[in-house]
Each structure stands twice: as C-alpha cells, then as structure tokens.
Amino acid sequence: MRIPLAKPEITEEDIKSVEEVLRTSYLSLGPKLIEFENIIKEYTGIKYVVTVNSGTSALHLIIKSLNIKDGDEVITTSFSFIASSNCILFERAKPVFVDIEEESYTINPDLIEEKINEKTKAILAVDVFGQPAYWDKLEKIEKKYNLFLIEDSAEAIGSKYKEKICGTFGDAGIYSFYPNKQITTGEGGAILTNNENIYNLSKSYRNQGRGEGSFWLEHIRIGYNYRLPDLNCALGISQLKRIDKIIEKRKKIFNIYKFYLRDIEEIILPQEREDSTVNWFNYVVRLKDNFTKIQRDALIQFLNENGVESKNYFPPIHLQPFYINLFNYKTGDLPITEKISDRTISIPFFNELTEKEIIYIKGKIKEGLLYIKSL
Ligand SMILES: *Cc1c(COP(=O)(O)O)cnc(C)c1O
C-alpha cells in the first residue's frame, strides 16, 4: 500500500470544463477568468476578486498594492509555508515574527503589540492548516495602531471564523489553488478585497502594469505576468461549484481519523474550536512534549518507508537557512513555534481517503511509535 499525503480530486465534469476551453480561442483573459472571479465573489460575499497564477503571486501583489517597501516591517508568523513571509521580502520589507498560540498554531495576538514600532506597516496572519487566526483580536490591533491587515487563507477556503468566511478578513486576503489545497486549478491563486484601490492596482500589476482601458502595449506602471489562464479558471469554476460536497467529504474523513486515533495517548490530534468551523487543509498530529525532534523525524521516516506519506509541516521559517543568514535568527527565538514544529506530522488527507486506509495508517503510527520509543 502507498497512501499519498494529498491528492487532487478531478472529476469527469472538471475534465470536460477544461476541454471546452481548449475548443475556443480564449486561452487567457477570456470569459472563464471573469466567471471564476464572479463565483468566488458570490461564494465569499467579497466585493472584488483578482485571480492570479499562484497564491504566492496573490500575496506579492497585496504587499505591492499596499506600497509596503524597503524600511517597512510586517508582523507575521514563522509557522507557515515560506511564501507568506517571502512575499514581504520580495518588496525588501522585513518580516517580524511573532510566536504562535498553542491550540490553533496561529499567530498569538497577545504577543503582537510589543513588536509594533514606527516601521510597522501591516500584520500578515495565516489560517494555518485551515484553522482561522483570531481575527477579532487582530482587527482590534489593526485599528488601534492604524496598520494594514492581510489574511493568508491559502489553506482555509471554506473555513469560517465566527460565521464569517476565511479569505474575507482584513484589508485583503488570498486563496491558493495548488493541487494539494482543498480546491485546485493546477497552479493558481486569488486576491480577495473590499478595497477598490488594492483591486485596481493588483489587476494592473497582474497584467504587465496595463491600466484600465490602456492600449495593449501601453504600461502605466511596473507589472508582472501573473495571469491565470482560462484553462485553469475553468477547472476552478468546476471545483468551486461543488465546494459544499468537498467540505462534507473532508469533514467526514476528519471525523474518521478522530475516531480511530483518539486512543493513541502519545499524540495530540488537531483541536476543534468553538469560535470556528474548519475546512481542514491537512491532518496534522503532534507528538507530546516528551518526544524529541529526532524521534519525530524517525517516525516520519518510518511512515514513509511503510507506505504512509507524511511530512514535517511546518519547519519554522525563521530557521530556514537563508532567513538565518539574512536576520541572524537562532533556535530559541520563538519557543512555542519551535516546540510545535519539532513535533508535528502531516499525514495523508484528501477527499478520497478511505476508512480502510485510515485503519492502515493508524496501525503504522502505532508500530512507528513503538519503534521511536526504542531509540
Ligand atoms: C500554499 C500556500 C501558499 C502559496 O500558494 P502557492 O499557490 O503554492 O503559491 C501561501 N501560503 C500558505 C500558507 C500556503 O499553504
């Protein structure tokens, strides 16, 4: 048996939608682009959507549109995928990491204020693994200090915080549609905002700095080619149309895991919170504090060797080699982030994961635990 960590769900309907685009001459900047942006608007209730070719591009264009630049600081989390921090570096601003909160693994709002100074321009929080950050507290801090607030909701399409859908908090938010995310376009992403200025600028930056109504070869500012082709938009439309079913499936798998893993006393399961409903991106178990990073790494290796693909989501960003070189971060700088990230393991989680496979995974986790305790 070989169970992958993630697997996109592609239906016949999805294939047909993409094929239809191939039979037209609109492969980019065509009607599917507009339709995809419109259904994201409908789904989330947001005013403006700009689709782009990746979640990373979406983050970059928000930073750029907010004119965050050299000398500015952005407060963010180290317990995330690298792109949520790299987007700040793209514009030569400085990411300032704040430790996370133990239950949700999201940025700890109570530790933010001590890091704010006159250089601070924004807070960029991540709905990590699908779990919403504490948006009400973050919004209070944003207002009090007159900052921008950015939501990296790459992993949280379909999640809700206090009944409000993730991706719609702060001044702007993003989704990613990479194949391991809850819905996919192959590669792709989207910017969501109620701010007209962010919308207009991102749209222009996405398309080589062209203005609304510019001639094709007239460029009114610097720009990029971050466009999402219509082929990918068609896949996104087809996927987003069944998001409710996708959420249902993932919830069911989450609950099957919860049932089978509940009696393994060495691990802490993903925590469910009263204030949110989560459309889980992945299933992350955490070894209790008495285990070491060496044991965690050995368990990951054991699982991979036994047909259960698993990964160390997430190594802390501040301890990535080039962040250490740039900013001199060292072990111990973010104790909670480091403690958790030394002990977490992402195990297979995708729409078509079966109960039988989950039982197999459980067996391997138990065998692996016996093995790492003997180390
Ligand atoms: C996937 C991801 C991104 C980047 O999205 P891409 O589409 O892969 O560029 C950014 N932030 C987080 C938290 C992610 O998980």
**What does the pLDDT read at residue 358?**
98
**What does the pLDDT read at residue 1?**
85
Nearest CA-CA partner of 98 in 285, 337, 347: 337
**What does the pLDDT read at residue 212?**
87
Model-level pTM greater than 0.95? yes
* Angstrom distance (rounded) from CA 371 to CA 375: 7
Is 6 touching ligand 1 by the criterion CB < 6 Å? no
Whether the pLDDT of residue 287 is over 90: the answer is yes
Q: What is the DSSP string of 80-149?
A: S-THHHHHHHHTT-EEEEEPBPTTT-SB-GGGTGGG--TTEEEEEEE-GGGPPP-HHHHHHHHHHHT-EE
Whether the pLDDT of residue 38 is over 90: the answer is yes
**What does the pLDDT read at residue 294?**
97
HEC sequence for 147-212: CEEEEECCCCCCCEECCEECCCCCCEEEEECCCCCCCCCCCCEEEEECCHHHHHHHHHHHECCCCC
Confidence grade of residue 92 (pLDDT, cut at 50, 70, 90): very high
Is 314 touching ligand 1 by the criterion CB < 6 Å? no
Share of the chain above pLDDT 90, in %: 98
**What does the pLDDT read at residue 375?**
87
Arithmetic mean of pLDDT over the chain? 97
375 CB neighbour count, 10 Å cutoff = 9
pLDDT (mean) for 50-59: 98
Query: Ligand 1: distance of its center to the CA of 224 in Å?
Result: 19
pLDDT (mean) for 62-73: 98
351 CB neighbour count, 10 Å cutoff = 17
Q: For residue 162, how far is the Cα from the chain centroid?
A: 19
Query: Ligand 1: distance of its center to the CA of 136 in Å?
Result: 23
Convert the pLDDT of each residue in 203-259 to its tens digit: 999 999 999 888 889 999 999 999 999 999 999 999 999 999 999 999 999 999 999
Is 53 touching ligand 1 by the criterion CB < 6 Å? no
Nearest atom of ligand 1 to the alpha carbon of 188 = 7
